[in-house]
């Protein structure tokens, strides 16, 4: 489990990352990896939400899936948080 | 089928859209809708590709799925073209 200092550090670093709103609240990965994913994906979700709304303003993005050979990243933007699941495709 | 003039117009308009590389080569939708999707999604794919590479430089984006209540947009970025499929989730 991360110590309180580590959590505080992580929160400070995420909040200073460009374009990132919010902080990781639960993770099964190490802090740096968590921060890296959180910063990159929260910005991509802002972009994806805008695309869905520009295509049809009555629609909201419910889920985004990014598939590469090694990983599948599943992102569910909820109202108060973003859930990010990273899975290995063969393992599913 | 679109007349040659319509196709030429479409090509000119896509090429002047910010951040869009390439032109729609085949579509089952009307020109304006095709242009709208092509412009929005080609920019989102550039962003998504960068995210996948920043997470793991050995990986390439193979597929992106955007799910809203009404639509699922499936995007497969190939080397020379981007395939975009728009499906109605219940219909599948």
Q: What is the pLDDT of residues B18-30, one digit of tens each?
A: 555 567 778 888 8
Cβ distance B68 to A52 less than 8 Å, yes or no, reads yes
Tell me which DSSP letter residue B30 carries.
Answer: -
Confidence of residue A18 (pLDDT cuts 50, 70, 90): low
Mean pLDDT of B3-24: 63
pLDDT at site B7: 60
| Contact status, residue B48 vs residue A66, Cβ threshold 8 Å | yes
Start-to-end CA distance of chain A, whole Å, equals 27
Residues constituting chain B: 92
Mean pLDDT of A47-76: 94
CATH code for the structural domain at A4-91? 3.30.450.30
Mean pLDDT of B59-78: 94
- Most confidently predicted of A2-16, A22-36, A51-65, B31-45: A51-65
Tell me which DSSP letter residue A63 carries.
Answer: E
Q: Please give the structure tokens belonging to residue A23.
A: 């902080």
Question: Interhelix angle for A31-55 vs B31-55, to 10°?
Answer: 180
Instruction: List chain B domain ranges.
Output: 4-91
pLDDT at site B30: 87
Whole-number average pLDDT of chain B: 82
pLDDT at site A24: 74
Cβ distance B66 to A48 less than 8 Å, yes or no, reads yes
- Cα distance between residue A24 and residue A14, in whole Å: 8
pLDDT at site A26: 80
Residues 14-43 of B with CB under 8 A from A: 36-37, 40-41, 43
Which residues in chain A touch residue B63, judged by CB atoms under 8 angstroms apart?
65-67
Selection from A86, A3, A48 nearest residue B48 by Cα: A48
- The question of ipTM being above 0.85 is answered as no
B87 in A contact zone (CB under 8 Å) = no
pLDDT at site B88: 84
């Amino acid at each position: 489990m991360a110590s309180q200092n580590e959590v505080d550090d992580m929160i400070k670093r995420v909040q200073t990352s460009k374009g990132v709103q919010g902080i990781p609240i639960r993770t099964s990965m190490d802090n740096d990896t968590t921060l890296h994913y959180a910063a990159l994906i929260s910005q991509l979700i802002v972009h994806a939400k805008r695309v869905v709304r520009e295509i049809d303003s009555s629609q909201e993005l419910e889920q985004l899936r990014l598939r590469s050979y090694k990983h599948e990243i599943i992102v569910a933007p909820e109202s108060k948080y973003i859930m990010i699941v990273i899975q290995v495709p063969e393992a599913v």
